[in-house]
Amino acid sequence: GAKWTYNGPEGEHHWSKHYPYCGGAFQSPIDIKSELLRFDPTLRPIEIQNYNLSPNEQLTLGNNGHSVQISLPSKMHISSLPHRYTAAQLHFHWGSSGRPSGSEHTVNSKQYAAEMHVVHFNSDKYPNMSMAVDKSDGLAVLGVLIEVGEFNPAFEQFLRFINGIKYIDQRVQVPGFNIRALLPARLDEFYRYDGSLTTPPCYPSVLWTIFRNHVTISRKQFLDMATALYSSHAQESSPVPLNENFRKTQLVDSRVVLVSFKE
């Protein structure tokens, strides 16, 4: 589709001109405020299958101009939701070297350094992502808030290759690793709400699960992610840094945010 950006004339305030859903309801991300929360005792811990990938498997690490993404094998899936949601890809949103706050979801207005999204589609009902992406029960995304702190060896499994995908449409093959290690320890504590893709076409098709507990990466790892990539092509004379790739928080309207934990 038409090109869109996070700032400037094709920035988020203009998305709805070409992508009408971006101006619609049920948009993401949101600010997860305490007064919105409702404890739901029926929320079961997230259960994932086949996330521990062997190094003999190759994963495609790519720069798609909007984020760094890792394509995921279809044996990976979430088994604790009403339908099976099969993994498609994971990607990140981050700030910049001067501004280590680039998460999309915020918690009581606190913005984290970055955020990871593991995108899944409802494979009980749809054959692939493209058929699922605009259906109200089409997608389930797991969100992980990321803070700068302790070095994270799991992130290093792909960050060590990031200089191979500096420019848009560059891809490299990386050895499989345990994707579970990118998630926080507790998969039973999370926020849950109905929302949308946070990029155009902004379809309101996402069941969001944002884990309560953040993970940490080191300052150097954050800088690697926030400074290595460009959204321009390799040969372009004026490279465009790929950073601050997060959408602002959206109106919650009458939506309720469910929580799986009490205190």
Pairing of strands 139-148, 114-122: antiparallel
Residue nearer to ligand 5EF on the CB measure, 77 or 91: 91
Nearest residue to Zn ion, by Cβ distance, number only: 117
- Report how far residue 214's alpha carbon sits from residue 221's, in angstroms, rounded to the nearest whole number: 16
Taking CB under 6 A as the criterion, the residue among 133, 140, 145, 187 binding ligand 5EF is 133
Beta bridge partners of 209: 142, 192
66 is catalytic: yes
Q: Which of 13, 14, 18, 66 is catalytic?
A: 66
Residue nearer to ligand 5EF on the CB measure, 6 or 51: 6
Tokens of 183: 């998630």
Nearest approach in angstroms of CB 54 to Zn ion is 26
Amino acid at 162: I
Phi, then psi, of 206 in degrees rounded to 5 = -115, 125
Taking CB under 6 A as the criterion, the residue among 141, 168, 182, 183 binding ligand 5EF is 141
Nearest approach in angstroms of CB 67 to ligand 5EF is 4
Give the N- to C-terminal CA distance of the chain in Å, as an integer: 44
**197 lies in the binding site for ligand 5EF (CB under 6 A):** yes
The size of the chain, in residues, is: 263
- Report how far residue 61's alpha carbon sits from residue 158's, in angstroms, rounded to the nearest whole number: 8
Q: Coil, strand or helix: which one is 227?
A: helix
**209 lies in the binding site for ligand 5EF (CB under 6 A):** no
Q: Coil, strand or helix: which one is 15?
A: helix
Q: One symbol per residue from 52 to 91: x for binding ligand 5EF (CB under 6 A), - otherwise; what is it? A: ------------x-xx-x------------------xx-x
**120 lies in the binding site for ligand 5EF (CB under 6 A):** no
Residue nearer to ligand 5EF on the CB measure, 133 or 228: 133
* Beta-sheet strands, E only, within 123-217: 139-148, 171-175, 190-195, 206-211, 215-217
Residues that bind Zn ion (CB under 5 A): 117
**Catalytic residue set:** 66
State the residues that interact with ligand 5EF by CB under 6 A: 64, 66-67, 69, 88-89, 91, 117, 119, 129, 133, 141, 197-199
